[in-house]
């Protein structure tokens, strides 16, 4: 399988603090990676580096065989990388309607207004929120907001979807519904995924590989089934145990 | 645009705005430092006035802190009825020119059936009026500082040690901020000529005005203003250095779950009583005093004519000042949005600017006008001059408001825009500006009211025949019937109340801003 994203020797500082040091990660096309790590280990920063939102001091990011970032230089801007992101706080623009959020999310694609409308209608229908098109994010429930954020991300037809703990504030039932929705859309559209999470249920439902970030670098990365029995790191072992208890 | 290019652009923008803010004072500063006046700036009369002003400023700061800190703490932490309007109308005295409450108190003292009230006059009267007028500053600063404590911090304190512990924790967090705000109130009273003139106190602000009117000596006025500004900076500089970070933390918003007011059987009532008494003594009582002559001899028809004659300049000066201040403040807030050090530096410069006497800019620009060619009269002698000078004077107020609003905006909105390739200009006018609209309108209204209340800058710079309403009241109050002055004052109070009520409606108009997304 060809690599969709390759991070090599990423070194990154935030506010003078070293967050990532020589981090390597390779994600194959249509691979779905669960990125694990203790709080403050640099998971979100790694996602932001891949998205092009953070500039690393060292290392390279290659996307679909094209060099996207090289030691402090952004060679491909975020919106030209074919990557969408689901933020922890969803980052919906509160003064725009659901349709407005999705349409504005397509600004970077150079589509005609008719194409934008068609893409928006198609994506809202796909995510089951066509009836919410005129509503504003503040008037929606947590689960509905989640779907709007997902629709905005998927409308740009990304090759890779980055999810930064997006289901933290949801109740169990809504979380399960959103997980099923993402899994269905992934099967339908075939995009790759990197999911930052602490929840074994999310990993079980969505991911096929597991990567563990410790001491500011990826210490192990492999297929989920292999990791369940052969994890080496402490966090990997604990997570594998939790996964086995789910089944 | 690269990261470094953006940083350089932001730095140049901030430096340019700060230079513009300091520009009106520069002509007088340079000429005062370069030339010698026939009159020495440190004459005995000026030294006495300076000492008297310093005593007054110190007294005002202490009084404002003693009233504002406990009331602000109780108001922030405890639930009571009519909390929102009561808190909002605490700002009412702050928005009035100080001579209005003075006239009110004088009228109260003159009324025979109110002879039981202690006479408000001289230094004590000045201290009382200015102290009550400045008390909302530490009160509102304390309230803002409490909003930065998280609800869980307060809950933990309540669980571990009850209300005593809550008050102790909150007071510890608020004292530096409240002290600085009270100090600012004291400093602002130094450059206020209204109250000292009415109560016959020789202050440095009145001395500068009187000497400038008599001698018309720009260099002398410049040196006097510089001496005052230097002394203020010398006295407050160390405190500012120590407490600026706390002030910035309190003034600028953070994304936390704010304190939820707690319904305590005793302390809630105490909070209600504190705010009610302060509003009564600082605003309602002097307003009632202003009403007394108008009730005996109403002259609203003549007052209406005066208001009609001064309405246009007042609105142009105030509205222009609002637009200038809010535009520059928005630029400063956006340029320093992700840079705490930049925010601190901007706040430090702007606070120093606010602490400097307004006469420095007023006389400075009029000095510039005497040298500038006639082609520049539109800039140095017109309505625009007054609006620009007032806008720059109140830039700090608008900047704090805009920095708070920009600080409360999640960074992820911009990141989402970058991931989706939305042009920065589109994000600015479709997302950021609509989000900031409530803050922009609130800052605009606040600066408009403050600029309208200013008499020093306006009096020095107003074009001939273009008086603002407060300056007109200040000019006619000595030799006009009491009924006319009172009627004018009441109309002015009504304008301030309407503006405050309009500001109170803003959160309802922008409900989406509180969206959980």
pLDDT at A61 over 90: yes
pLDDT at B339 over 90: no
Q: Which of A209-213, B200-204, B323-327 shows the lowest per-residue confidence on average (mean pLDDT)?
A: B200-204
Identify the bridge partners of residue A18 per DSSP, sorted by sequence position: A13
Q: Is A3 helix (H, G, I), strand (E, B) or coil?
A: strand
Q: Which residues of A touch B412 (CB under 8 A)?
A: 87-91
Residue B362's domain comprises 9-38+299-517
Q: Do A96 and B517 touch (CB under 8 A)?
A: no
| Residue B237 in domain | yes
User: pTM for this one?
Assistant: 0.77
Same domain for B118 and B210? yes
Report the pLDDT averaged over residues A35-51: 90
Q: B514: pLDDT confidence band, cut at 50, 70 and 90?
A: very low
Q: Which residues of A touch B513 (CB under 8 A)?
A: 94-95
pLDDT at A62 over 80: yes
- Show which residues on chain B lie within 8 Å of chain A, measured between beta carbons: 3, 410, 412-413, 415-423, 426, 430-431, 434-435, 511-517
- Distance from the Cα of A55 to chain B's closest Cα (Å) equals 9
Q: Do B415 and A53 touch (CB under 8 A)?
A: yes
Q: Which of A59-73, B63-77, B248-262, B497-511 shows the lowest per-residue confidence on average (mean pLDDT)?
A: B248-262
pLDDT at B358 over 60: yes
| % of chain B at pLDDT higher than 90 | 17
pLDDT of residue B14: 93
A51 close to B (CB below 8 A):
yes
Q: Do B416 and A93 touch (CB under 8 A)?
A: yes
Q: Which residues of B touch A107 (CB under 8 A)?
A: 420-423, 426
Closest chain B residue to the Cα of A157, Cα to Cα: B420
- Over residues B277-331, the pLDDT tens digits come to 999 999 898 888 888 888 888 788 888 888 888 888 999 999 999 999 999 999 9
Edge-first strand order for the sheet with A3-14 is A17-28, A3-14, A58-63, A66-70, A73-74
Tell me whether strands A160-164 and A192-196 are parallel, antiparallel or unpaired: parallel
| Residue B4 in domain | no
Q: Which residue in the set B3, B421, B435 is minimally distant from A107, CB to CB? A: B421
Q: Please name the residues between 69 and 108 in chain A that touch chain B, using a CB distance below 8 Å.
A: 77-80, 83-85, 87-96, 104-108
pLDDT at A107 over 90: no
pLDDT at A52 over 50: yes
Taking all residues of chain A, what is their mean pLDDT, rounded to a whole number?
A: 88
| Residue B103 in domain | yes
The alpha-helical segments, DSSP class H, found in B121-217 are: 122-134, 136-147, 151-190, 194-199, 204-215
Same domain for B14 and B135? no
Same domain for B451 and B439? yes
Q: Do A108 and B3 touch (CB under 8 A)?
A: no
| % of chain B at pLDDT higher than 70 | 91
Report the pLDDT averaged over residues A128-134: 92
How many CB contacts within 8 angstroms connect chain A with chain B? 96
Q: Do A52 and B410 touch (CB under 8 A)?
A: no
Q: Do A89 and B412 touch (CB under 8 A)?
A: yes
Q: Do B418 and A87 touch (CB under 8 A)?
A: no
- Distance from the Cα of A163 to chain B's closest Cα (Å) equals 13
| Residue B1 in domain | no
Q: Which residues of A touch B3 (CB under 8 A)?
A: 55
Assigned token pair, B18? 């700060």
Identify the bridge partners of residue A92 per DSSP, sorted by sequence position: none
Q: Do A94 and B423 touch (CB under 8 A)?
A: no
Q: Do B105 and B286 touch, CB atoms closer than 8 A?
A: yes
Highest mean pLDDT among A223-237, B51-65, B88-102, B213-227: B51-65
pLDDT at B509 over 70: no
Same domain for B287 and B331? no
Q: Which residue in the set B420, B512, B516 is minimally distant from A79, CB to CB? A: B420
- Over residues B381-426, the pLDDT tens digits come to 888 989 999 999 999 989 988 988 888 888 888 889 988 888 888 8
pLDDT at B115 over 70: no
pLDDT of residue A67: 94
Q: Which residue in the set B418, B421, B430 is minimally distant from A53, CB to CB? A: B418
Q: Which residue in the set A79, A104, A109 is minimally distant from B418, CB to CB? A: A79
In a mutagenesis test of the B interface, which of A69, A107, A147, A155 is the best target, namely the one with the most B β-carbons within 10 Å? A107
Same domain for B224 and B370? no
Q: Which residue in the set B415, B434, B435 is minimally distant from A87, CB to CB? A: B415
Q: B38: pLDDT confidence band, cut at 50, 70 and 90?
A: low
**Which of B296, B311, B342 is the last residue in one of the domains?**
B296
d(CA B24, CA B386): 11
How many other C-beta atoms can be found within 10 angstroms of the C-beta atom of residue A13? 15
| Residue B2 in domain | no
- Over residues A138-150, the pLDDT tens digits come to 889 888 998 999 9
- Over residues A153-196, the pLDDT tens digits come to 999 899 999 999 888 777 888 888 888 888 888 888 889 999 99
Q: B160: pLDDT confidence band, cut at 50, 70 and 90?
A: confident
Q: Is A213 helix (H, G, I), strand (E, B) or coil?
A: strand
Q: Do B515 and A78 touch (CB under 8 A)?
A: no
Q: Which residues of A touch B4 (CB under 8 A)?
A: none
Q: Which residues of A touch B516 (CB under 8 A)?
A: 137-138, 142, 145
Q: Which of B132-136, B144-148, B231-235 shows the lowest per-residue confidence on average (mean pLDDT)?
A: B231-235
Report the pLDDT averaged over residues A86-115: 88
Same domain for B20 and B137? no
Q: Which of B62-76, B106-120, B124-138 shows the lowest per-residue confidence on average (mean pLDDT)?
A: B106-120
pLDDT of residue B41: 61
Same domain for B210 and B90? yes
Closest chain A residue to the Cα of B255, Cα to Cα: A89
pLDDT of residue B367: 80
Q: Do A87 and B435 touch (CB under 8 A)?
A: no
Q: Which of B33-47, B86-100, B130-144 shows the lowest per-residue confidence on average (mean pLDDT)?
A: B33-47
Same domain for B429 and B345? yes
Same domain for B410 and B340? yes
In a mutagenesis test of the B interface, which of A69, A78, A94 is the best target, namely the one with the most B β-carbons within 10 Å? A94
Any idea what the Cα angle at residue A39 is, between residues A33 and A45, rounded to 5°? 60
Highest mean pLDDT among A47-51, B33-37, B300-304, B501-505: A47-51
CATH of the domain at B170: 1.10.3720.10
Report the pLDDT averaged over residues B47-51: 86
Tell me whether strands A32-37 and A209-214 are parallel, antiparallel or unpaired: parallel
Taking all residues of chain B, what is their mean pLDDT, rounded to a whole number?
A: 83
Same domain for B165 and B250? yes
Same domain for B373 and B233? no
| Residue B289 in domain | yes
Closest chain A residue to the Cα of B411, Cα to Cα: A91
Q: Which residue in the set A78, A89, A96 is minimally distant from B419, CB to CB? A: A78
pLDDT at B517 over 50: no
Q: B272: pLDDT confidence band, cut at 50, 70 and 90?
A: very high
pLDDT at B112 over 80: no
How buried is A175 (Cβ within 10 angstroms: 0-12 exposed, 13-18 middle, 19+ buried)? buried
pLDDT of residue B145: 84
pLDDT of residue B42: 66
Q: Please name the residues between 148 and 207 in chain A that touch chain B, using a CB distance below 8 Å.
A: 152, 156
pLDDT at B255 over 60: no
In a mutagenesis test of the B interface, which of A95, A139, A141 is the best target, namely the one with the most B β-carbons within 10 Å? A95
Q: Do A138 and A130 touch, CB atoms closer than 8 A?
A: no
Assigned token pair, A245? 């208890």
Q: Is the dihedral of CA B432, B438, B441, B442 positive or negative?
A: negative
Tally of domains within chain B: 2
Estimate the crossing angle of helix B44-77 against helix B151-190, to 10 degrees. 160
Same domain for B259 and B179? yes
In a mutagenesis test of the A interface, which of B3, B420, B435 is the best target, namely the one with the most A β-carbons within 10 Å? B420
pLDDT of residue B234: 79
Contacts of B364 (CB under 8 A, 6+ apart): B24, B25, B26, B27, B28, B29, B222
Q: Is B218 helix (H, G, I), strand (E, B) or coil?
A: helix
Highest mean pLDDT among B231-235, B311-315, B369-373: B311-315
pLDDT at B148 over 50: yes
- Distance from the Cα of B515 to chain A's closest Cα (Å) equals 4
Please report, in angstroms and rounded to a whole number, the separation of the first and last CA atoms in chain A: 28
User: For residue A15, what is the DSSP state?
Assistant: T
d(CA B224, CA B376): 28
pLDDT of residue B515: 43
Q: Nearest Cα to A167, choosing from A181, A155, A156, A157?
A: A181
Q: B516: pLDDT confidence band, cut at 50, 70 and 90?
A: very low
In angstroms, what CA-CA distances link A210 with A26, A48, A179, A180, A233? 12, 19, 17, 19, 12
Report the pLDDT averaged over residues B61-74: 95
| % of chain A at pLDDT higher than 90 | 40
pLDDT at B211 over 60: yes
d(CA B145, CA B174): 6
Q: Is A88 helix (H, G, I), strand (E, B) or coil?
A: coil
**Which of B268, B296, B324 is the last residue in one of the domains?**
B296
- Over residues A216-234, the pLDDT tens digits come to 889 999 998 888 888 888 8
pLDDT of residue B180: 85
Integer Rg of chain B from CA:
23
Report the pLDDT averaged over residues B236-245: 72
pLDDT at B131 over 50: yes
Report the pLDDT averaged over residues B2-18: 86
Q: Which residues of B touch A95 (CB under 8 A)?
A: 430-431, 434-435, 512-513
């Amino acid at each position: 399988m060809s690599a969709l994203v390759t991070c090599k020797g990423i070194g990154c500082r935030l506010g003078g603090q070293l967050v990532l040091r020589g981090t390597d990660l390779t994600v194959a096309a249509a691979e779905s990676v669960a990125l694990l790590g203790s709080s403050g280990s640099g998971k979100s920063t790694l996602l932001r580096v891949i998205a092009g939102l953070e500039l690393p001091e060292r290392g390279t990011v290659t996307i679909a065989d094209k060099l996207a970032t090289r030691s402090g230089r952004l060679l491909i801007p975020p919106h030209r990388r074919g990557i969408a992101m689901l933020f922890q706080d969803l980052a919906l623009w509160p003064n725009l309607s659901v349709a407005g959020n999705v349409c504005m999310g397509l600004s970077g694609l150079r589509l005609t207004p008719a194409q934008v409308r068609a893409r928006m209608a198609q994506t809202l229908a796909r995510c089951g929120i066509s009836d919410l098109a005129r509503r504003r994010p503040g008037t929606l429930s947590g689960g509905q907001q989640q779907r709007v954020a997902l629709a905005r991300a998927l409308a740009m037809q990304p090759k890779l979807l980055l999810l930064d703990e997006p289901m933290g504030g949801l109740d169990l039932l809504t979380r399960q519904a959103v997980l099923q929705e993402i899994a269905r859309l992934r099967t339908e559209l075939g995009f790759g995924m990197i999911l930052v999470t602490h929840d074994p249920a999310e990993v079980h439902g969505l991911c096929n590989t597991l990567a563990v970030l410790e001491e500011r670098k990826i210490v192990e990365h492999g297929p989920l089934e292999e990791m369940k029995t052969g994890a080496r790191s402490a966090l990997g072992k604990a997570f594998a145990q939790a996964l086995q208890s789910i089944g | 645009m690269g990261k470094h290019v953006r940083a350089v652009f932001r730095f140049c923008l901030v430096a340019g705005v700060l230079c513009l803010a300091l520009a009106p004072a520069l002509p007088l500063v340079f000429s005062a430092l370069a030339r010698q006046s026939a009159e020495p700036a440190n004459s005995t009369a000026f030294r006495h006035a300076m000492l008297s002003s310093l005593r007054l400023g110190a007294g005002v700061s202490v009084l404002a802190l003693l009233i504002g800190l406990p009331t602000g703490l109780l108001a922030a932490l405890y639930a009571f009825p009519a909390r929102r309007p009561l808190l909002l109308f605490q700002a009412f005295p702050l928005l009035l020119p100080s001579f209005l409450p003075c006239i009110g108190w004088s009228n109260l003292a003159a009324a025979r059936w109110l002879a039981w009230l202690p006479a408000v006059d001289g230094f004590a009267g000045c201290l009382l009026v200015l102290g009550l007028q400045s008390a909302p500053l530490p009160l509102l600063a304390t309230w803002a500082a409490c909003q930065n404590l998280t609800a869980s911090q307060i809950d933990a304190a309540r669980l571990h040690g009850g209300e005593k512990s809550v008050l102790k924790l909150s007071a510890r967090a608020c004292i530096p901020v409240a002290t600085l705000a009270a100090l600012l109130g004291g400093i602002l009273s130094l450059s206020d000529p209204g109250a000292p003139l009415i109560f016959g106190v020789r202050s440095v602000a009145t001395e500068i005005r009187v000497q400038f009117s008599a001698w018309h000596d720009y260099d002398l006025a410049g040196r006097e203003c510089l001496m005052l500004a230097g002394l203020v900076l010398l006295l407050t500089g160390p405190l500012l250095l120590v407490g600026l970070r706390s002030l910035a933390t309190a003034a600028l918003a953070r994304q936390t779950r704010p304190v939820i007011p707690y319904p305590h059987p005793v302390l809630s009532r105490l909070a209600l009583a504190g705010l009610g008494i302060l509003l009564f003594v600082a605003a309602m009582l002097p307003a009632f005093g202003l009403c007394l002559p108008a009730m005996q001899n109403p002259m609203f028809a003549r007052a209406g004519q005066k208001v009609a004659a001064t309405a246009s300049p007042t609105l142009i000066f105030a509205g222009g000042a609002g637009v200038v201040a809010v535009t520059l403040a928005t630029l400063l807030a956006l340029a320093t949005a992700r840079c705490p050090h930049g925010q601190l530096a901007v706040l430090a410069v702007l606070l120093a600017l606010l602490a400097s006497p307004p006469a420095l800019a007023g006389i400075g620009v009029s000095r510039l006008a005497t040298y500038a060619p006639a082609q520049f009269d539109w800039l140095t002698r017109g309505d625009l001059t007054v609006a620009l000078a007032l806008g720059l004077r109140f830039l700090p107020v608008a900047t704090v408001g805009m920095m708070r609003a920009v600080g409360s905006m999640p960074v992820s909105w911009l990141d989402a825009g970058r991931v989706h390739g939305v042009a920065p200009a589109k994000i600015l006018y479709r997302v950021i500006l609509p989000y900031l609209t409530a803050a922009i309108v609130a800052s605009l209204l606040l600066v408009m009211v403050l600029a309208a209340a200013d008499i020093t800058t306006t009096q020095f710079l107003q074009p001939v025949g273009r008086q603002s309403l407060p300056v007109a009241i200040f000019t006619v109050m000595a030799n006009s019937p009491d009924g006319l002055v009172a009627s004018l004052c009441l109309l002015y109070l009504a304008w301030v109340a309407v503006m405050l009520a309009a500001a109170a409606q803003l959160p309802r108009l922008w409900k989406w801003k509180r969206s959980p997304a």
